[in-house]
C-alpha cells in the first residue's frame, strides 16, 4: 500500500519528561476502521495526539497519508479529531462553534453554513443548533464534537472515546456512521474501552499496553498469533457426546464441555487445523449432523484478556 494511503509510525517514541507515553511504535494503518484498545495509560491518546500533530515525537517519524503532522496547514485539511476533552470555547452556540472553526479552512460563508448544517444534521443536533454548547447535555456535547471533527469532510477521522456519554440509540447510530466512513475508504481511528463495540466497529485493532504496541491487525489474525492460549471452538451438532469421546484421544485437545441445551460442544485446542481434520473424519465415520462450527474466542475481548489480561481491566 502506498505511503499516501496509510498512516505510518516508524520507531516512534514519546516521553513526558521521564514518563513513557509510547515507545518504539512501528505501525502501518490502512484505510478502514481501526480501533486502539488498551487500559488507561496504555498510550492510546498519546498515539492520537502524535498523529494529529498536537504532540511531537521524542524520536521517530510519523506520516499521515504521506504528510508530516508538523505540516499542520496540510494535515488539518485531511484530518478531523474528536478529542476526549469535554471543553468548548465559551459563548458559542452549536452552529457558531462549527461555523467559526470551518471559517479557518478559508471556505466561503455559504459553504461553511452548508457544511455546518449538514454536520449538525448528521449527528442529530439540527434542532439544538442555536443553543449554547455550554447548555448541552453530555451526550449532545459529544455529538457536537463529532460534528466538528467531520464538518470539513476529512479523509482521516480520529475519535478518542467517541461513544462516551451517548445513549444506546446514539451509540448504534454512531457505530453505523463509523462503519460507513470506513467502507468509503476513509481512515477511522477509534479508541474505546467498550470491547464488544470495538468488535462491531473494527476492521483492525491495535492493542496497546504500557506504551507498547502488543498486537495489531485484523482481530482473527491477532488471535491466531496468540499460540500460548488454546483456541476455543463452539460446535453445534446432534450428538456432541460422540464428538467429545473422539476428541479426548487427541493430545491437542485441552478441554471439551457440553453446554446449553445439550447440542453445543465448547472445546479448547492447541491445534485448530488438526481439530478441523478430525471433525471431518467424525462426520464421515459417525454421520454426525453439524449445524455450526465457530471460533468462540477470536473477539477483541478474548484477545485483550490473553494479551493484556487483568492488568488492564476494562468493560
Partner 1 sequence: MKRLWIRQIAGVLRLELKRTAFSKRGWWIYCLAIGPVIVALLHWLIESHSHSVRHSLGEDSVVFAGMFLFFLRGSIFFGCMGIFTSLFRGEMLEKTLHYYFMTPLRRELLAAGKYLAGLVVALALFLPSVAATFLLLGRHFGAAWTDYLVHGPGLGQLGSYLLVATLACIGYGAVFLVCGLVYKNPMIPAAVVWVWEALNPFLPALLKKISILFYLKSLCPVEVPATPPFSVMVIEADPTSPWIAVPGLLAVAAILLIYAGISARQAEINYGE
* Beta carbons of 216 and 202 less than 8 angstroms apart: no
- Pick from 12, 29, 42, 55: which binds partner 1 (CB under 8 A)? 55
- Pick from 35, 83, 209, 302: which binds partner 1 (CB under 8 A)? 83
The answer to whether 212 contacts partner 1 (rule: CB under 8 A) is: no
With CA atoms as reference, report the closest residue to 120 among 89, 88, 145, 147: 147
Binding piece for partner 1, criterion CB under 8 A, among 2-10, 71-79, 260-268, 288-296: 71-79
* Beta carbons of 98 and 125 less than 8 angstroms apart: no
* Beta carbons of 37 and 209 less than 8 angstroms apart: no
The answer to whether 208 contacts partner 1 (rule: CB under 8 A) is: no
In the complex with partner 1, the residue whose CB is nearer, 101 or 306, is: 101
Binding piece for partner 1, criterion CB under 8 A, among 50-58, 205-213, 240-248, 254-262: 50-58
Shortest gap between Cβ of 176 and partner 1 (angstroms)?
Answer: 25
Restricted to residues 3-42, the positions that interact with partner 1 (CB under 8 A) are: 16
The answer to whether 56 contacts partner 1 (rule: CB under 8 A) is: yes
* Beta carbons of 212 and 38 less than 8 angstroms apart: no
- Pick from 6, 13, 72, 274: which binds partner 1 (CB under 8 A)? 72
With CA atoms as reference, report the closest residue to 141 among 162, 172, 169: 162
- Pick from 2, 18, 19, 87: which binds partner 1 (CB under 8 A)? 87
The b/e string for 52-69 (b: 16+ C-beta within 10 A; e otherwise) is bbebebeebebbbbebeb
Restricted to residues 88-127, the positions that interact with partner 1 (CB under 8 A) are: 88-92, 100-101, 103-106
Size of site (CB under 8 A) for partner 1:
31
Shortest gap between Cβ of 107 and partner 1 (angstroms)?
Answer: 9
**Footprint on this chain of partner 1 (rule: CB under 8 A):** 16, 49, 52-56, 72-77, 79-81, 83, 85, 87-92, 100-101, 103-106, 148
Amino acid at each position: 500500500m502506498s505511503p499516501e494511503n496509510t498512516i505510518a509510525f516508524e520507531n516512534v517514541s514519546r516521553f513526558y519528561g521521564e514518563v513513557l507515553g509510547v515507545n518504539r511504535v512501528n505501525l502501518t494503518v490502512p484505510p478502514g476502521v481501526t480501533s486502539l484498545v488498551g487500559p488507561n495509560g496504555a498510550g492510546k491518546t498519546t498515539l492520537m495526539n502524535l498523529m494529529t500533530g498536537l504532540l511531537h515525537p521524542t524520536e521517530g517519524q510519523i506520516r499521515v497519508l504521506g504528510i508530516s503532522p508538523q505540516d499542520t496547514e496540510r494535515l488539518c485539511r485531511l484530518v478531523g479529531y474528536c478529542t476526549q476533552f469535554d471543553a468548548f470555547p465559551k459563548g458559542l452556540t452549536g452552529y457558531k462553534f462549527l461555523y467559526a472553526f470551518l471559517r479557518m479552512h478559508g471556505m466561503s460563508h455559504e459553504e461553511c453554513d452548508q457544511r455546518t448544517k449538514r454536520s449538525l444534521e448528521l449527528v442529530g443536533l439540527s434542532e439544538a443548533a442555536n443553543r449554547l454548547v455550554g447548555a448541552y447535555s453530555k451526550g449532545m456535547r459529544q455529538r457536537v464534537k463529532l460534528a466538528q471533527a467531520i464538518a470539513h469532510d476529512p479523509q482521516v477521522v480520529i475519535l478518542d472515546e467517541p461513544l462516551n456519554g451517548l445513549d444506546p440509540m446514539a451509540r448504534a447510530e454512531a457505530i453505523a456512521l463509523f462503519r460507513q466512513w470506513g467502507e468509503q475508504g476513509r481512515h477511522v481511528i477509534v479508541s474505546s474501552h467498550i470491547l464488544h463495540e470495538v468488535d462491531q466497529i473494527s476492521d483492525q485493532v491495535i492493542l496497546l499496553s504500557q506504551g507498547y504496541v502488543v498486537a495489531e491487525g485484523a482481530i482473527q489474525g491477532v488471535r491466531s498469533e496468540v499460540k500460548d492460549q488454546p483456541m476455543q471452538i463452539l460446535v453445534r451438532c446432534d450428538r456432541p457426546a460422540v464428538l467429545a469421546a473422539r476428541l479426548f484421544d487427541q493430545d491437542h485437545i485441552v478441554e471439551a464441555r457440553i453446554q446449553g441445551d445439550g447440542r453445543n460442544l465448547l472445546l479448547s485446542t492447541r491445534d485448530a487445523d488438526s481439530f478441523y481434520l478430525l471433525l471431518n473424519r467424525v462426520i464421515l465415520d459417525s454421520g454426525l449432523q453439524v449445524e455450526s462450527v465457530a471460533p468462540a474466542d477470536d473477539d477483541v475481548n478474548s484477545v485483550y484478556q490473553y494479551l493484556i489480561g487483568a492488568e488492564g481491566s476494562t468493560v
